[in-house]
Amino acid sequence: MNLAFAHHLDLGHSAQSRKPGAVGIHSAAENIALHLEEVASGFQTLAPLRNICNPLAAARIALCPRITREKYYGWAEPSLSRGYGRQLSNKMKHFPADAVLCTEVKHAAYLNTDRPVAVWTDSLYGGLADYYQTFTGLSKRTLSDLRAMDRAAVENCERLIFASDWAAQKAIELYGADPEKVKVAPYGANLTSGLNRAEAEMLVNAKPMDGICRLLFTGVEWKRKGGDTAVQVAEQLIARGIKTEITVLGTDPHQHMDSVPDFVNCAGFLSLNKPDELAKMKQLYSEAHVLLQPCRAECFGHVFPEANSFALPAIASNTGGIPTAVQDGINGYCVDVGDVDAYAGRITTLYNNPDEYRTLCLRAFDDYHAHLSWRQAAGRVVHILEKL
């Protein structure tokens, strides 16, 4: 099929200008565009888009952050989203696409075209309200704008494709989305090992199981990702007699803790775009025994397929979209949010049973290639759109 792909950034030139917190979002968009181009018979990126809004909206964007203590997001102004829609509509006139796919609700909401419109995202904004820290305490105007944008996208799109079952169900519950329009296509990994099956087996078999249990925690947002809980889990494992180290990737724990224990290693924020830092990230994934992600809120989590590509299983919380990414006994286990004993118990059982652990590692690797790679994801989405 001939597919048009909508995004406001020129993805080929956006990598160096990212903010750390936006890495997952924009890396995902780049990978989506790359792999859709591989599987679609025709492909055109409708980018970049300009931020265009009416004078009243521009005034609010400039003034509201100065006069309100609540969180006001200027990017949620309907005038901006309508501006994106007009630009995309004009671009569509010059490309013979069978459908147009957006990865952000704000692009899909007001896109008027005679071709089917679809969105592939990790959540509608309503699913994030009072769930993510950044979407808690929103101003009434921003909350109203986000919900209006969601409703417009639900009505405008022929397909609402989500990365998780949780987000798909939220669309139905919050906005009455037609279940026939709602589909699930899990995201892929922005960082991959490049290992084949034989190399994965060698990596797993070479990991010592009688020395130090090495945990990897990754996340820029310490509180939302559960960094404090991850440290408590490591403490619990040590109390159980298991020598344990935990490496924190993505942030500096010294910024979040009054005192950082000796068993906590700090890798800080590392960039996928710097070869030496990329190599360090791959080393950390390769050396760890378990990816520990006790998230308080998560729509999906690119880190899970990333870890699985290194044959690294995850122990994570059963919140949001994580249970779509982490399936018990396949590529890890999910436990209740904040249940330190449950996290420690799962890790203890795996570490004390090397055969069971190695089996889970290779299942995780196989599941990544079968279900959680970007190639698989792109193929699934094209298959969904071909039925329009």
Per-residue model confidence as pLDDT tens digits over 301-322? 999 999 999 999 999 999 999 9
Over residues 275-290, the mean pLDDT reads: 97
Query: Does 286 lie in the same domain as 381?
Result: no
- Of 55, 61, 65, residue with least CA distance to 75: 61
How many folded domains does the chain comprise? Answer: 2
Query: Does 378 lie in the same domain as 364?
Result: no
Q: Which domain holds residue 125?
A: 2-188+374-386
Query: Does 210 lie in the same domain as 121?
Result: no
Query: Does 231 lie in the same domain as 135?
Result: no
Query: Does 378 lie in the same domain as 362?
Result: no
**Six token digits for residue 310:** 């290194």
Cut 0.85: pTM above it: yes
Query: Does 209 lie in the same domain as 241?
Result: yes
The pLDDT tens digits for 253-277 are: 999 999 999 999 999 999 988 999 9
Q: What is the Cα–Cα distance from 346 to 342, expressed in whole angstroms?
A: 6
Amino acid at 348: T
Q: Is residue 13 scored above 90 in pLDDT?
A: no
What local confidence, expressed as pLDDT, does residue 19 receive?
Answer: 42
Length of the chain counted residue by residue: 388
Q: Is residue 15 scored above 50 in pLDDT?
A: no
Q: What are phi and psi of 41, to 5 degrees?
A: -75, -25
In degrees, rounded to 5, the angle at the alpha carbon of residue 300 between the alpha carbons of residues 299 and 304 is: 150
Q: What does the mean pLDDT of the chain come to?
A: 94
In what side-by-side order are the strands of the sheet with 290-293? Answer: 264-268, 244-249, 213-218, 290-293, 314-317, 332-335
Question: At 10, is the pLDDT very low, low, confident or very high (cuts 50, 70, 90)?
Answer: confident
Question: At 9, is the pLDDT very low, low, confident or very high (cuts 50, 70, 90)?
Answer: confident
The pLDDT tens digits for 18-73 are: 444 444 455 788 899 999 999 999 999 998 999 999 999 999 999 998 888 889 99
**25 CB-near residues (< 8 Å, 6+ apart):** none
What local confidence, expressed as pLDDT, does residue 72 receive?
Answer: 95
The pLDDT tens digits for 220-254 are: 999 999 999 999 999 999 999 999 999 999 999 99
Query: Does 351 lie in the same domain as 231?
Result: yes
b (16+ CB within 10 A) / e for 65-95: eeeeeeebbbebbbbbbbbbbebbbebbeeb
What local confidence, expressed as pLDDT, does residue 26 receive?
Answer: 59
Q: What 3-state class would DSSP assign to 182?
A: strand
Over residues 370-382, the mean pLDDT reads: 96
Query: Does 142 lie in the same domain as 284?
Result: no
CATH code, domain with 333: 3.40.50.2000
What local confidence, expressed as pLDDT, does residue 12 receive?
Answer: 57
Amino acid at 57: A
Query: Does 126 lie in the same domain as 64?
Result: yes
What local confidence, expressed as pLDDT, does residue 94 receive?
Answer: 87
> Which residues, in sequence order, are bridge partners of residue 184?
162
Q: What 3-state class would DSSP assign to 269?
A: coil
Query: Does 323 lie in the same domain as 175?
Result: no
What local confidence, expressed as pLDDT, does residue 16 receive?
Answer: 43
Strand 290-293, strand 99-102: pairing:
unpaired
The pLDDT tens digits for 336-367 are: 999 999 999 999 999 999 999 999 999 999 99
